[in-house]
């Protein structure tokens, strides 16, 4: 990847609805904004998050991960309001250092407008910059719209793990592991 291929921030994308959304990299100083965004999400969205981003201590740890470079997060904002994010969590296990995990969350008012796709494109670029070979997404089979979105991007099911996660209500759920080879992503973003 040449320096000209790298994403520059802040930058603006246009959604399918015509709305302009500004993208920028998250910093630890954004912790309060992330918590406020998380608390504005519907309860069902929070059921399946891997970490409790409504908890300021958890988001502070996320900020520390940004500082160490183990996580890269792109925030989406419009009119000063956070409306979504995408994160790439780099794998520090040496035999899985070629993998990264993608996590995307879009606010209710901005769904079905291409924001998730735009954020995914940003994270795909970050993954290529880091030399990753594969991006992995974890979700439950009940997350039908999230599954449909990542399938449209070219992700395919790798595994279904029985009772592998426990939701905020204490119920066990199956976990779906989906992955994509980073080297072929461009054809799915155009």
Q: How far is CA 186 from CA 84, 91, 130, 151, in A?
A: 22, 23, 16, 14
Sign of CA dihedral 128, 134, 139, 145: positive
Give dist(CA 93, CA 144) in Å, integer: 30
C-alpha distances in Å from residue 72, one per residue of 19, 49, 57, 99: 25, 17, 18, 14
The tokens describing 181, both together, are 């080879």
Say which CATH superfamily domain 7-138 falls into. Answer: Gcn5-related N-acetyltransferase (GNAT) (3.40.630.30)
Question: Between helices 56-68 and 31-40, what is the axis angle to 10°?
Answer: 130
Q: What is the pLDDT of residue 46?
A: 77
Greatest alpha-carbon span in the chain = 47
Query: Partners of 102 in the beta sheet?
Result: 88
Give CA–CA dist 129/131, Å, rounded: 5
| β-strands 134-139, 99-106 pairing | parallel
Sequence ranges of the domains in the chain: 7-138
In order of 6, 78, 129, the CA distances from 3 in angstroms are: 5, 27, 9
pLDDT at position 184, please?
61
Instruction: With CA atoms as reference, report the closest residue to 105 among 156, 145, 63.
Output: 145
Stretches in the chain below the pLDDT threshold 50: 1-5, 185-190
- Which residues on adjacent β-strands are paired with residue 74? 25, 86
pLDDT at 142: 87
Cis peptide before 10 (omega within 30 of 0): yes
pLDDT at residue 185 in the model: 47
Provide the pLDDT for residue 6: 57
């Amino acid at each position: 990847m040449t320096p000209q291929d790298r994403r520059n921030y802040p930058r603006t994308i246009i959604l399918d609805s015509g709305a302009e959304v500004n993208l920028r990299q998250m910093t630890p100083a954004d912790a309060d904004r992330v918590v406020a965004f998380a608390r504005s999400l519907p309860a069902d969205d929070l059921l399946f998050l891997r970490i409790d981003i409504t908890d300021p201590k958890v988001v502070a740890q996320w900020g520390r991960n940004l500082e160490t470079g183990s996580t890269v997060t792109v925030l989406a904002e419009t009119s000063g309001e956070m409306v979504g994010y995408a994160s790439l969590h780099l794998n520090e296990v040496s035999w899985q250092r070629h993998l990264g995990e993608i996590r995307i969350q879009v606010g209710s008012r901005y769904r079905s407008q291409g924001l998730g796709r735009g954020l995914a494109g940003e994270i795909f670029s970050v993954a290529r910059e880091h030399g990753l070979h594969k991006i992995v997404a974890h979700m439950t089979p009940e997350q039908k719209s999230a599954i449909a979105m990542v399938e449209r991007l070219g992700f395919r099911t790798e595994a279904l793990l029985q009772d592998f996660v426990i939701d905020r209500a204490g119920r066990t759920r199956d976990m779906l592991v989906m992955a994509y080879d980073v080297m072929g992503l461009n054809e799915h973003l155009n």
